[in-house]
Amino acid sequence: MSKAAELREMSDELLALTLKDAIDQLYHLRLQAQTERLDAPSELRKQRRLIARIKTIQNERARKRAAQAQQSQAIQAGA
């Protein structure tokens, strides 16, 4: 599920839920790493990258909404 295309297909609510789950999972992985019981250290990197992908997509959507709102205000002001 970590592919960006799959994440882009998700709704905003589902994306936010996935982000929360990924952050929780990263927390638990870090806890395991501190107690030296982490089986796969690569999981830390995977979770960090997943979080970054999700935040990037959320930021893209927010910028797109802001640009659309600005464009609609410009149209209304010109009309």
pLDDT at residue number 79? 63
Tens of pLDDT along 16-42? 999 999 999 999 999 988 988 888 889
CA–centroid distance for 34 within its chain: 25
DSSP string, 41-54: THHHHHHHHHHHHH
| Percentage of the chain exceeding pLDDT 70 | 96
Q: What is the pLDDT of residue 73?
A: 85
By residue range, what is the domain housing residue 69?
4-78
**What is the Cα–Cα distance from 19 to 10, expressed in whole angstroms?**
12
pLDDT at residue 21 in the model: 97
Our count of domains for the chain comes to: 1
CATH classification of the domain holding 66: 1.10.287
pTM of the model: 0.84
